[in-house]
Amino acid sequence: MKTFYTFTLLLLACISNAQQTISGTVVDEKNKAVVGANVFIDGTYDGASTDEKGNFNFKTTATGNQLLVVSFLSYETIKVSIEVEKFQNQTVKLKESVNTLDAVVITAGTFSAGEKSRVSVLKPLDIVTTAGSAGNIIAALQTLPGTQNVGEDGRLFVRGGEADETQTFVDGIRVAQPYGATTNNLPTRGRFSPFLFSGISFSTGGYSAEYGEALSSVLLLNTQDEADQNKTDISLMTVGLGLSNTQKWKKSSLSVNTAYIDLAPYQAAIPQDVDWNKPFQSLSGETVYRYNFANGIFKAYAAFDASRFDLNQEDINQPDKVRVNLRNNNFYFNSSYKGNFSGNWQIFTGLSYGYGQNKIGIDDNDLKNAEHASHLKLKFTKKLSDKVKLNFGTDYFISKFDEDYNTTFKSGYDSNIAAVYTEADIFFSKKFAAKVGVRVSTNDYINENGFSPRASLAYKVSKNSQFAFAYGNFEQTPRQEYLKYSNDFKTEKAAHYILNYQYAKGNRTLRTEVYYKGYSDLVKYDTENVQFDSQFSNDGQGYAKGLDVFWRDGNSIKYLEYWISYSYIDTKRDYKNYTAEVTPSFVSTHSLSLVTKYWINDWKSQVGFTQQFSSGRPFNNPNEAAFMNGKTKSYSSLSFNWAYLLSQQKILYFSVSNILGTQNIFGYNYADTQNGNGVYDRKAIIPTADRFFFIGFFWTISDNKKDNQLKNL
Amino acid sequence: MKTIITSIAIFICSLLSAQTQYEQGMGKAMQLWGEGNNTEAVATFERIASVEKTNWLPNYYIAFISTIEVFGAKDKTKIPALLTKAQDAIDNATVISPNNPEIMVVQAMLYTAILIQDPMTNGQKYGGLAMEQYNKALAIDPKNPRAMFSKAEFEIGGAKYWKTDTKPMCEAIAKSIELFANFKPETPFHPNWGADRAQQALISCK
């Protein structure tokens, strides 16, 4: 009987448990009441939401030391250790979460495309739907401010810097040979098809200490982490064929992409101003393999490209045309692992190997060269708190280059660069953030050490606008062309100062940037061309300053997206064999791009126009006493494209560049010697054709029947 | 003897109160949600989730309510935080109950919610991801009425635009109504929504 009583009593006791009242107020950082915050004792059902004054009040059966949880949308959830009996009329302060999408972003210098970037200037689709870009990532980036339109070259020239001052990275690992092979005054293209990349970040200065060996700019391409689905894409184009396939398994996926390009049929239909013996032909392919572990992802990327062409080029110094026969083979492999492990640590490790081989026949002479380039990288990220993140890592670059001219002249080098860096990301508040870092490197071939501090700050002045400032020192080993003849160099150096203002609201973005860039220790030589007996020095220098403006609007007119880029630049440099500090020939003082895309719903078509304009570029006229005193007429090109969706998975695509057929001149080649009248003759450098036409048919075969290749065009 | 009795009593007592508290809490949360008080409902589900660490339902409802809120959000500035909240809750629920077709349906709806924020940019990727989730859910449970109906509803949008035949989707909706009729939730708190919406969708099909 006694036991029964005990039992009943105990049961009663547990039902009629004594209750304590907990009460208080929830406020934000400005001591304003937070309405609707969820307040409860961890591990119990006891809790309440705050009223319109931020007050809460509830009863609990819990006693003693407990965890009080307070959470509210877009605020950091906090857990406070409390003693239930003593927690009455207390105030709890919530902090705005800095992880939310509207926190300040360090923007100085950088353009991002991709869904991960919070302030996206370009969308992934833009790379390929920009008229005139013809699926070339580089051509689409040339519609952004800070870049120069150098039509006879095709590479990226950023803010008064040479093309090789931009370094390209795939998944954080350097690509030593990012461009296709070409010869004098025939523009090249980026090697990468936009097909496999989900994020692109293009920095025109002031970038992170993670990236070295780049004086002017870095281009970061990230492969997709995950394949969407199993699918096959077929492309039939006037210039060739393409085929790609993606297979997806439970934890891994594989994408393969191949293309065969042959300009012969196109050349037959629309003659170009190129005297081909054998028009351009290339076979290329790329593949990405991804494997997802529980706490990480492994990616491998490989690309190969074999190109050939044979042509006769006019040379003002030769009575007959010069025959150039080029064969290029290129292979690139890159693998990386990114993983999380305990205590908010993240590891990234990767390596790349690139092999580029050229065999060039110039009339009866043979030039052969080969470059092996590797990059090893190890990086750690530790999240110390929601506000402080620490990165540190190390890089090792290996380059081996050999060249052979007619099997008699040999040149080459082996260079190893080791670097370490560390950088901290600090959020002082949701409005104010900083990134501070330093990079130290050493190069064994030229026996030079480098020290590069970097810093950037961003401050949000209102809900939609912010200022950012970036400063950094950047160093780069002199280019291959010099290194193969000598190792008596210093690294070339640049200092960047950038002030950025950005306004972003909905689909409207305004971005303006002013910058100053100082160059020092640029390489100079004393001969007409770079050759084995050139005397080199690091006495060169220069500067670039300017204004970049970008405006994008997708709001004002339904179905119309457009952007306008304007760049003003004032730059001079004394390098190479220049006799004075002058503006180099690849620079236009004013550059303007207008890109429009209009979706016509009834026609299921996207129609786009791109207008590019740049003011005249300098050239050196030996008939004048002053060095680099000539100026070409201005450049203008209007391009058009039209994508028509035949059905959800079939697209017909048409594009034409320079519709108006504007006669553009990039510069002039002058004769080495005077003619009978004491004048140096010249020949204009012009595009190979006034217009370029392209027609393609793109067909996607997939399970869900929703995908198409619009994003690849 | 006394200790044994005491332990039995405490065990029964904790069992009793836990059971009733869970049911009370879930009942109250469902009621708040039914009244349109989403914030309070989510807050209650969050409290339940803090106790019921092996039950996927509270997180399921947090995800579901937050996703539905994105579709109807007038205050666009709240959307990013809602999307994050819904995804976190889906992740939590999936850890507790992997390969659950009900959670996959909500994941597909969340992808659709992201898609409609910017169809031009997100359409390709998130359309594919949503379809993948529906297909996975139906592969696991071909008789799940919500997977069947939501997939058809998602596909109908595209088919109308392309002026392709919506007949197969309408058939799927009709079939889902049969499945709804035969569907019995495991407990009163398991997902049981959708029958009325399917009826409406079928009417607009004709």
C-alpha distance from residue A204 to each of A151, A167, A473, B66 (Å)? 19, 11, 14, 39
Percent of chain A residues past pLDDT 70, beyond the cut: 92
Cβ separation A3–B2 shorter than 8 A: yes
Burial (Cβ within 10 Å: 0-12, 13-18, ≥19) of residue A128: buried
Task: Report the pLDDT averaged over residues A479-496.
Answer: 94
Chain B residues touching A73 at Cβ < 8 A? 78, 81-82, 85
Distance from CA of A452 to the nearest CA of B (A): 37
Taking an 8 Å Cβ-Cβ cutoff, which residues of chain A contact chain B? 3, 6-7, 10-11, 14-15, 36, 38, 40, 42-47, 49, 69, 71, 73-74, 99-102, 115, 123-125, 228-229, 561, 599, 647-648, 702-704, 706-708, 710-711
Distance from CA of A275 to the nearest CA of B (A): 42
Q: How far is CA A613 from the centre of its chain?
A: 23
Nearest to A611 by CA among A562, A644, A552, A569: A562
Spatial CB neighbours of A505, under 8 Å, sequence gap ≥ 6: A464
Residue A179 DSSP one-character state: B
Does the pLDDT value for residue A353 go beyond 60? yes
The tens digit of pLDDT for each residue in A499-542 reads 999 998 877 889 999 999 999 999 999 998 999 899 999 999 99
Distance from CA of A45 to the nearest CA of B (A): 6
Task: Report the pLDDT averaged over residues A606-631.
Answer: 93
- The reply to whether ipTM tops 0.90 is no
Q: Which of B17, B48, B128 sits opposite A706 (nearest CB)?
A: B128
Spatial CB neighbours of A567, under 8 Å, sequence gap ≥ 6: A145, A146, A147, A546, A547, A548, A549, A590, A591, A592
Q: Which of B9, B84, B128 sits opposite A7 (nearest CB)?
A: B9
Q: Which of A14, A123, A228 sits opposite B121 (nearest CB)?
A: A123
pLDDT given for residue A399 in this prediction: 95
Chain A residues touching B164 at Cβ < 8 A? 647-648
Q: Taking a C-beta distance cutoff of 8 angstroms, is the pair B121, A124 a contact?
A: yes
The count of other CB atoms within 10 Å of the CB of residue A310 is 16
pLDDT given for residue B44 in this prediction: 93
Structure-token pair, residue A141: 């980036």
Cβ separation A707–B121 shorter than 8 A: no
The tens digit of pLDDT for each residue in A663-675 reads 999 999 999 889 9
Chain B residues touching A96 at Cβ < 8 A? none
Distance from CA of A44 to the nearest CA of B (A): 6
Evaluated on CA atoms A621, A622, A623, A624, the torsion sign reads: positive
Burial (Cβ within 10 Å: 0-12, 13-18, ≥19) of residue A89: exposed
For residues B60 and A86, which has the higher predicted lDDT (pLDDT)?
B60
Q: What letter represents residue A88's amino acid?
A: Q
Chain A residues touching B12 at Cβ < 8 A? 11
| Distance (Å, whole) CA A424 – CA A434 | 8
Phi-psi region for residue A342, left (φ > 0), alpha (ψ -120 to 50) or beta? beta
Cβ separation B6–A44 shorter than 8 A: no
The tens digit of pLDDT for each residue in A235-281 reads 888 888 989 898 988 889 999 989 898 888 888 888 878 888 998 89
| Distance (Å, whole) CA A516 – CA A547 | 9
User: Of all helices (H) and strands (E), which one includes residue A422?
Assistant: strand A409-427
For residues A676 and B157, which has the higher predicted lDDT (pLDDT)?
A676
| Distance (Å, whole) CA A9 – CA B10 | 11
For residues A14 and A550, which has the higher predicted lDDT (pLDDT)?
A550
Does the pLDDT value for residue B9 go beyond 60? no
The tens digit of pLDDT for each residue in A299-312 reads 999 999 999 999 99
C-alpha distance from residue A266 to each of A203, A279, A686 (Å)? 36, 10, 20
Cβ separation B121–A115 shorter than 8 A: yes
Q: Which of B5, B82, B122 sits opposite A6 (nearest CB)?
A: B5
Q: What letter represents residue A581's amino acid?
A: E
Residue of A nearest to B159 (CA): A648
pLDDT given for residue A712 in this prediction: 44
Spatial CB neighbours of A323, under 8 Å, sequence gap ≥ 6: A277, A310, A311, A312, A313, A361, A362, A363
Residue of B nearest to A113 (CA): B121
| Distance (Å, whole) CA A278 – CA A264 | 8
Spatial CB neighbours of B185, under 8 Å, sequence gap ≥ 6: B191, B192
Structure-token pair, residue A181: 């092979």
Residue of B nearest to A4 (CA): B5
Banded pLDDT at A694 (limits 50, 70, 90): confident
Residue of A nearest to B160 (CA): A648
For residues B21 and A56, which has the higher predicted lDDT (pLDDT)?
A56
Distance from CA of A200 to the nearest CA of B (A): 14
Q: Tokens 């998130």 sit at which residue?
A: B126
The tens digit of pLDDT for each residue in A438-452 reads 999 999 999 999 999
Q: Count chain A–chain B contacts defined by CB atoms under 8 A.
A: 114
The tens digit of pLDDT for each residue in A555-579 reads 888 888 899 999 999 999 999 999 9
- Is A106 in a helix, a strand, or coil? coil
Nearest to A6 by CA among B9, B66, B162: B9
pLDDT given for residue B121 in this prediction: 67
Does the pLDDT value for residue A1 go beyond 70? no
Does the pLDDT value for residue A354 go beyond 70? yes
Chain A residues touching B127 at Cβ < 8 A? 704, 706-707
DSSP string covering A579-600: SS-B--TT--SEEEEEEEEEEE
**Summary count for chain B: helices (H), strands (E):** 9, 0
Q: Provide the mean pLDDT of chain B.
A: 87
Nearest to A300 by CA among A287, A284, A312: A287
Q: Which of B16, B22, B128 sits opposite A707 (nearest CB)?
A: B128
pLDDT given for residue A117 in this prediction: 47
Chain A residues touching B13 at Cβ < 8 A? 10-11, 14-15
Q: Which of B9, B78, B131 sits opposite A704 (nearest CB)?
A: B131
Task: Report the pLDDT averaged over residues A177-189.
Answer: 83
Distance from CA of B5 to the nearest CA of A (A): 7
Nearest to A46 by CA among B86, B75, B77, B51: B51
User: Of all helices (H) and strands (E), which one includes residue B145?
Assistant: helix B145-161
Residue of B nearest to A702 (CA): B128
Cβ separation B6–A10 shorter than 8 A: yes
| Distance (Å, whole) CA A303 – CA B103 | 39
Spatial CB neighbours of B27, under 8 Å, sequence gap ≥ 6: none
C-alpha distance from residue A666 to each of A143, A588, A662, B126, B173 (Å)? 18, 11, 12, 44, 63
The tens digit of pLDDT for each residue in A381-435 reads 998 987 899 999 999 999 999 999 998 889 999 999 999 999 999 988 888 999 9
A387 φ/ψ angles, rounded to the nearest 5 degrees: -105, -20
Nearest to A210 by CA among A256, A173, A257: A173
Give the mutation candidate from A645, A706, A709 for the B interface (greatest B CB count, under 10 A): A706
pLDDT given for residue A8 in this prediction: 58
Banded pLDDT at A124 (limits 50, 70, 90): low
DSSP string covering A189-241: -BS--GGGEEEEEEESS---TT--S-SSEEEEEEE-SS--S-EEEEEEETTEE
pLDDT given for residue A651 in this prediction: 83
Evaluated on CA atoms A646, A651, A652, A657, the torsion sign reads: positive
Distance from CA of A673 to the nearest CA of B (A): 57
Distance from CA of B24 to the nearest CA of A (A): 10
Residue of A nearest to B131 (CA): A704
Does the pLDDT value for residue A12 go beyond 60? no
A642 φ/ψ angles, rounded to the nearest 5 degrees: -145, 120
Which residues sit opposite A467 in a β-bridge? A459, A501
Evaluated on CA atoms A682, A687, A688, A690, the torsion sign reads: negative
Pairing assessment for the beta strands A78-83 and A166-170 based on DSSP bridges: unpaired
E strand spans, B16-109 = none
pTM of the model as a whole? 0.81
The tens digit of pLDDT for each residue in A54-113 reads 999 999 888 889 999 999 988 888 898 999 888 899 999 998 876 655 666 767 767 766
Chain B residues touching A49 at Cβ < 8 A? 39-40, 43
